[in-house]
Homo-oligomer: A and B are copies of this chain.
Amino acid sequence: MNQSKRILNEWSIIEEGFDPNSNEASESLFSLGNGVMGQRANFEEDYTGKTFQGNYIAGVYYPDKTRVGWWKNGYPEYFAKVLNAPNWIGIKVTIDGVLLDLNTCKKISNFRRELNMKEGWLSREFEATLKNNCKIKVYAKRFLSLTHNEVGAIAYTVTPINKEMTIQYEPSLDAGIVNKDSNWDDQFWNILEINQNSEQSFIYTHTLKTNFHVCTYMESKLFIDYKPLNTVPKNSHTSTTACSIYKENIKENQHFTIHKFGGYTVDRYHNKTKLIDAAKETLQKSINIGYDELLVLQIKEWKNIWKSADITIQGDVKAQQGIRFNIFHLNQTYLGTDSRLNVGPKGFTGEKYGGSTYWDTEAYCIPFYMATKNQEVARNLLTYRYNQLDKAIENAEKLGFTNGAALYPMVTMNGEECHNEWEITFEEIHRNGAIAYAIFNYTRYTNDYSYIPEKGLEVLIGIARFWQQRVNFSKERGKYVMLGVTGPNEYENNVNNNWYTNYLAQWSINYALENIEKVKDTYTEDYLRILNKTKITEQELTDWKKVADNIYFPYSEKHQVYLQQDGFLDKELIKVKDLNQNERPINQHWSWDKILRSPFIKQADVLQGFYFFEDHFSSKELEKHFDFYEPITVHESSLSPCIHSIIASKLNRMDQAYQLYLRTSRLDLDDYNKEVHEGLHITSMAGTWTSIIKGFGGMRIKNNLLSFEPRIPKEWKGYSFKINFRNHIIHVNITSEKSTFTVDGDKDVTILLNGKKTIAKATLKIS
């Protein structure tokens, strides 16, 4: 009973046996989401063992007053917390007067949970002997509907095994929830109304400070041996909860089932005074459709998702399960239909981090969504930042910048910065570059240039202005320098001339200049609007150009590499392989100052630049830099191994690429960092996807040509993937013998194969 094992499966995450000690980890791994709400895999029935209860509603957050040891000017006043939402899944189960609680049962056997990623549902089954010796079998299945995304459905069945029993179900709503990570033990929710009618309950609430209005609701239907019962429950409520009580005598081997429908109506989609009505409408629709048909719709919708997103790997179930787990959770977190939402680093699986938007979105997630969904989804992610441009300008103003310079926040919900470590908040400014890069990446991939005159150019101007103001001229060097920054490698803080940041700054300015010209030439109306709004002047553009042309890059002639920052070569360049393994991960063993003056790199930094701008450097240069930086990279960020895997593939170092792939794809499944109980690493999952498509697949777009240069890890017999490229679904099938490319729909496509056997190379030209 105290052991559990995970069964490898291509399409499901399966756990057999119940281990209370790993329960919180499983609650994370088996989480459900449908893009607008989500929840950890908590039990429906009461559980007094270790559990981390979590329900989350996309975009509903609380501005928790900042708590710091030592205040620094410029810190934001609050930290936007992902908000634990009222719980609608609860079903208290009483068997002959004894509460079902897996923590107090005499015996539990045949415990099994499954997260079916193909069809989008979670199930759990077990047999339990209660303290009163009642033996029962339980089967529970639930899902958050994709087709009706305000509702979730649970089918919960108890079957008496050793005798007839009186079984009581108390489906409930609970709005008395708190955040584990609250700074000041504030109350986050205020309850406005608890409303119950025969079979329905509603708790109408709003969040304090942010005033988001939410109605949490439920309705249940009961069945014995799958035949509906027409019982009317006894309702009751407290000041924070509401429940309905159903009680029946159930014979041995009879199935007593409750279908519980529940979820949230939110004022983002309804009039805030009409949320109970909206919930009633949603319930009526769901009940009319019924649990079984809702599930059929769910399966169909997931089939649709997989159609353009699935990756198959032959001969390596571990790798196969890993990549599907990543694709599945990314789709649970964000579906791209609402440009007010974004991809939180823990999705709907935990509280940690707060905020929903990091540079992860632009650097890691956009390529995934762009290639697996309609291009509107990536456009929505770009629009999210466009809509927050004013806030980014305000953020920059708080730090002393002027004239429309924009600094996008490190962490945000609504565009305002909400993180408070000076070395990150004020200095990890490369995030601004990733936002410009995403615009470039989008137009390159989709060929949809219209985004730039419509929205993108204003963002590019704000960002270019920031860089121009952020550098200063060093008389000593006769160059522009960028002092006091933190690069992607957060194991160095407040350094000067981080190469990656300087390179992005130069590129962003040039890209902005190039697009100002383009828009001026071809979108006159847009140009005049933007000119009027941003008041850019010729003199300003000249100033930008001066910076871009004269920015300083630290370079070592001796090593022939760009240096991560000015002082890098003063460090003692010991290698990761020479580290004492007992001191790994170093972030759990070394004091911060020791980490900072060590050469060890948390995540791709210079190499992140080489990844972004692969065309700017030769293979020889890439190899030099990889050989210099990889041996000192500890990959203690979830965002690191994927980039290194991609580069290793490109350099045909397949063993290394494969090992790094496993590390990224099974980071949470195998709990590399011993923290999965806190939630999953959602955004890095997109990096895993990229490490197959761009890494092993060798996908590139250049001069409007899509090309692949696939390689196969020796552990695999073959692999295939699908991508949506400019409204063509392209199937790429790679084996060591032969690689093939097929295209759904429009056939006006040229496929070129280079004919090599093990290293297939192909170019696919969209005419």
Q: Tell whether A426 is near chain B: CB-to-CB under 8 Å.
A: yes
Within 8 A of B (CB), among A450-477: 472-477
Contact A496–B427 (Cβ < 8 Å) = no
Contact B594–A483 (Cβ < 8 Å) = no
Q: List B contacts of A493 (CB < 8 A).
A: 494
Q: Report the minimal beta-carbon distance from A659 to chain B, rounded to whole angstroms.
A: 27
Contact A571–B483 (Cβ < 8 Å) = yes
- Produce 1/0 per residue, A36-71, CB < 8 A to B: 000000000000000000000000000000111110
Q: List B contacts of A512 (CB < 8 A).
A: none
Contact A591–B399 (Cβ < 8 Å) = yes
* Contacting residue for A68 out of B69, B400, B472, CB 8 A: B69
Query: Which residue of B is nearest A474, CB measured?
Result: B570
Interface residue SS majority, chain A = loop
Contact A596–B494 (Cβ < 8 Å) = yes
Q: List B contacts of A69 (CB < 8 A).
A: 66-69, 420-421
Contact A494–B494 (Cβ < 8 Å) = yes
Query: Which residue of B is nearest A552, CB measured?
Result: B570
Residue of A398, A473, A475 most packed against chain B (CB within 10 A): A475
Q: A566-B567, A591-B400 known; A572 and B73 CB under 8 Å? A: no
Contact A483–B73 (Cβ < 8 Å) = no
Q: Tell whether A578 is near chain B: CB-to-CB under 8 Å.
A: no
- Produce 1/0 per residue, A583-606, CB < 8 A to B: 000011111111111000000000
Q: Report the minimal beta-carbon distance from A578 to chain B, rounded to whole angstroms.
A: 15
Q: Report the minimal beta-carbon distance from A414 to chain B, rounded to whole angstroms.
A: 20
- Produce 1/0 per residue, A476-509, CB < 8 A to B: 1100010110000000011010000000000000
Contact B476–A570 (Cβ < 8 Å) = yes
Query: Which residue of B is nearest A494, CB measured?
Result: B494
Q: List B contacts of A139 (CB < 8 A).
A: none
* Contacting residue for A567 out of B426, B496, B587, CB 8 A: B496
Q: Report the minimal beta-carbon distance from A418 to chain B, rounded to whole angstroms.
A: 11
Q: Tell whether A440 is near chain B: CB-to-CB under 8 Å.
A: no
Q: List B contacts of A400 (CB < 8 A).
A: 590-591, 594
Q: Tell whether A422 is near chain B: CB-to-CB under 8 Å.
A: yes
Q: Tell whether A229 is near chain B: CB-to-CB under 8 Å.
A: no
* Contacting residue for A74 out of B67, B423, B573, B593, CB 8 A: B593
* Contacting residue for A422 out of B399, B587, B593, CB 8 A: B593
Cα of A426 to Cα of B594 in the assembled complex, Å: 9
Q: List B contacts of A420 (CB < 8 A).
A: 69-70
Q: A69-B68, A73-B587 known; A593 and B484 CB under 8 Å? A: yes
Query: Which residue of B is nearest A424, CB measured?
Result: B70
Q: List B contacts of A72 (CB < 8 A).
A: 591-592
Q: Tell whether A766 is near chain B: CB-to-CB under 8 Å.
A: no
Within 8 A of B (CB), among A104-133: none
Extra contacts, 6 of them, besides A73-B595, A423-B494 (Cβ < 8 A), are A73-B591, A426-B591, A427-B593, A472-B572, A481-B570, A567-B567
A–B Cβ pairs within 8 angstroms, 12 of them: A70-B420, A72-B592, A73-B590, A74-B592, A400-B591, A426-B591, A475-B573, A476-B570, A481-B570, A484-B597, A494-B494, A496-B570
Nearest 3 pairs of A and B residues by beta carbon = A74-B591, A426-B593, A72-B592
